[in-house]
Chains A and B, each alone.
Chain A
Amino acid sequence: MAQDKPRKKVSRRKFLVRAGLGTVGVMAIGTYVFRNPIRREVLEMAETLVPPYSGSGTSANLWFEVLEDNRVRLHSPKVEMGQGAFTGLAQIAADELDVAPGQIEVVAAATDSGVVDAMSTGGSLSIASLWQPLREMAATMREMLKNEAAKQLGADAGSLSTREGIVFSGEGSLTYAEIAAAATEWELPEVPELRAAAQYQYVGKPVQRVDLAPKVFGSPIFGLDAELPGMLHASIIRPEAVGAQLKSLDSKAAADMPGVVKIVELENAVGVVAESYPQALAACRKVKVEWDVPKRWAEEDIRSLLQVGKGDKMVTQKAGKAVSEEDGAVVSLSFTSPIGAHAQLEPNGALAHVEEGKATVVLSTQVVGITRNQVAEALGMKPEQVNVVPTYLGGGFGRRLNTAHAIEAALLSRAVGKPVKYMFTRQEEFQHDTFRPPTHHIVKARLGEDGLLDALEHHYASGDVAIGSLIMPSALHQVLGTDIGAMRGGNIMYDNIPNRRAVQWHTSLPFATSWWRSLGLLANTFAIESMVDEMAMRSGQHPADFRLAHISEEGAGARIKAVIREAVEKAGYSDEVQNGRAMGLAASIDTNSPCAHVVEVSVEAGEIKVHKVTCVLDCGLAVNPDQVRAQCEGSILMGMSAAMHEKMTLHKGELQPTIYGPYQMALMRHAPKEINVYLLQGAEVPLPVGEPPLGPIAAAIGNAVRRLTGQRLTDLPLRMG
């Protein structure tokens, strides 16, 4: 990959004023973005790992509206799924626009606004990817308002100042709303110079989340809260066994159930539309469906398919020589991770209304533009005939990077000629998730005479993560030949080890596997960092010193070393078991954000308990330090949950369990009583934060258990043997 090319400046945009929004006193500002989106995505991702905001090419992109009450509405191309993006975006815009963050109302852009992100909300990139274009647009808009105010006030634009949504001159002042209301045409200035860090008023401050009140007082902000007049409700029957095909359908008894409007055969599924949701559920139980199940998959089948040495092989990292099988000095350990469910609290669903020549779909989705295109294709419409309205998401975690169920809601709506709200049941969620694939790892290590590693190899097998997904340009797979999602965290960051290998083995499984927060990072880091800690012990060295000795100052090396040093210092790391507790250290770097955790663990009655986590993350510029901390805390809890509790299994062809409880997850009683997060800001721009802190958590816990009990745990979820 080319590392030396400077990032292309996102520019060449024109602003335009859109009329006819149907609101009096509104100024709408948008942009045209001229470029070839796909080509650019591929290049920029390869170069920076930060894909840019990519507009929809030639249509008008509505970003800002100045409202009558002098607030500014920002149509965000990224959705809010808990990550705090709306708050950070409001802060970023506020600093260039000279308004208070509280004056900015952030809404998720519906596709008819023209702000259609051709990629997704994911990869922890909402803030990182919009940092530059959003500031450019906000600054340009501020200058447009000033220029227009200069005309209206008869003043020199250079003499004007702006503050909290007001333009001041010696002669008087005008609010942005007053300026916008009186403007008839706008001059389009060059993108002005952006403000320097010292001038930020809001960026870098722990501004309170903009979505606190609706979330604390129960406002109807989520996909499943949406309603339309005359709306009907739907549930869908899907196969319970993996690979099952619809054989026969008898819906007579169900059709007579109260409230049932229509029963519709869909692609390998049956939709039941009724006047109420309970009626739809009741009718589903009366539908007689037979399925062909060509094979009843078992857990062992998956384990034998998914192994290092099987599937498509790709060397993802190579330095020095490979270790030999016969080399008696090589330590080899095998690790596994299970199938993981997303288990986001808001079930999937969609409210669709298909009318003559147009369709509206309201839903929680991370892929707004893709969902629009999918629905349009299924309905035989043009994309611009379909308006996808994204809501707040009741959790994303990668699950909503595939919201093809919007198609089913649209087909059901078309079949009954009314708006239809379709909701997954929880069983459907668990059986038809796009799971985190299981993994298998073999890690090999050899100590040299100096007590340091002279060889480390990570061989890892995974199901699909990025491959098969709609959001990755397929060209990227051909270029790289590997599953770049499974690869996350798979390469070895210890560049001072002379002989290093990372080898991916990819196998597509018989059920859908895809993006799950942090992708391969959690399991890959578990394997590598468990082994590194094991070798530090065998070498009789301090685990931090041992790690530091294997990292150069090159590239991100200095930043990785800094988080490790800071973590052991802040945690007061000790190798000694004290009061029945031991500490564990692990570190990783993901999307250029290095992170280290030190955990304090005890084992009581065979149960591992995490008491304290010290987390150090280098997140670059922290736009909102409090929300970066919240992402660290959340990543730690979600990572702990996956590392210590969660596991889906295949039993007689069915993915189980299908309900919370049996699908064990971290609850309040499992949460550490102490989580201390320290942020290093080793870059002037914001770096991804929503996933990197997931990386080291499983290994840190495993390493602590090893130091406490002598047992090296190699399988997730971590259970005492």
Chain B
Amino acid sequence: MKIAFTINGRAQSVEIEDGNTPLLWVIRDQLNLKGTKFGCGKAACGACTILVDGEAVRCCSYAAKLAEGKQITTIEGLGTRAQPHPVQQAWIEEVVPQCGYCQPGFIMATAALLEKNPAPTDEDIDNNIVNVCRCGTYYRMRKAIHRAAALQAQQVAVNPKNQ
């Protein structure tokens, strides 16, 4: 079957044999966007978190056919090195990553959280950022999430259209 969606701002159409194929493999292997990671295949770790219509989705357990007509954002489409997303900027400033494998998932989950809740409390972070990081970068991530919220607020203040 053919499915069509928008990914990182580009219209995309892919041919898949089985509509129930996890979207993760379409993204990684058919579209060759390797920033979205395979961690567990059962939506238990969050390494594969992407945005589907602005919502955080663990795409290892999201049937590709459900992507039809959706707006998808992966880590590659969130920001660029020249124009990083506030979450990426904050991640760099706090020097968060160690091994780095889980980081795209955390960054996407944080981006989704800040969309809904531009100034999350520690409790909001605890309740919403539930991915797994084995290197134990949680302490810096929490600082980075607060920093990202502040950076985003500055951007909105400078250019209210961004809201």
Binding site for B on A (CB under 8 A): 81-84, 208-209, 211-222, 224-225, 227, 233, 258-259, 276-278, 342-347, 392-397, 423, 425-426, 626-627, 630, 633-638, 640-641, 659-661, 665-673, 675
In angstroms, Cα B135 to Cα A637, docked, is 8
Max count, chain B CB within 10 A of own CB: residue among A215, A221, A225, A276: A215
Given contacts A216-B88, A218-B75, A659-B44, contact A395 B136 (CB under 8 A): no
In angstroms, Cα B79 to Cα A371, docked, is 37
In angstroms, Cα B145 to Cα A635, docked, is 21
Residue numbers in B under 8 Å from A345 (CB-CB): 37, 39, 45, 47, 99, 101-102, 132-134
Residue numbers in B under 8 Å from A627 (CB-CB): 95
Q: Is the CB of A634 within 8 A of B35?
A: no
Given contacts A217-B80, A278-B25, A668-B129, contact A396 B138 (CB under 8 A): no
Given contacts A217-B80, A637-B138, A671-B139, contact A82 B35 (CB under 8 A): no
Given contacts A218-B74, A346-B101, contact A659 B42 (CB under 8 A): yes
Closest beta carbon of chain A to B63's beta carbon, Å: 11
Q: Is the CB of B29 within 8 A of A277?
A: yes
Q: Is the CB of B79 within 8 A of A217?
A: yes
Residue numbers in B under 8 Å from A669 (CB-CB): 126-127, 130
Q: Is the CB of B25 within 8 A of A215?
A: no
Q: Mark B91-130, 1 if CB is under 8 A from A, else 0.
A: 1100111111111100100000000000000100111011
Chain B interface helix/strand/loop/mixed: loop
Number of residues in B with C-beta < 8 Å to the partner? 59
Q: Is the CB of A211 within 8 A of B100?
A: yes
Q: Is the CB of A392 within 8 A of B35?
A: no
Residue numbers in B under 8 Å from A659 (CB-CB): 40, 42, 44
Binding site for A on B (CB under 8 A): 17-18, 21-22, 25, 29, 32-42, 44-45, 47, 74-76, 79-81, 84, 88, 91-92, 95-104, 107, 122, 125-127, 129-142
Max count, chain A CB within 10 A of own CB: residue among B44, B127, B130, B134: B134
Q: Which of B34, B35, B39, B133 contacts A347 (CB 8 A)?
A: B39
In angstroms, Cα B92 to Cα A343, docked, is 25
In angstroms, Cα B100 to Cα A212, docked, is 8
Given contacts A343-B134, A659-B42, contact A82 B98 (CB under 8 A): yes
Q: Is the CB of B39 within 8 A of A392?
A: no
Residue numbers in B under 8 Å from A423 (CB-CB): 38
In angstroms, Cα B88 to Cα A695, docked, is 33
Closest beta carbon of chain A to B62's beta carbon, Å: 13
Q: Is the CB of A82 within 8 A of B135?
A: yes
Sample 17 A-B pairs with CB under 8 A, ordered by A number. A82-B98, A83-B98, A84-B98, A212-B95, A217-B75, A217-B76, A218-B36, A218-B75, A218-B104, A220-B35, A222-B100, A278-B21, A345-B134, A347-B38, A665-B132, A666-B136, A668-B126
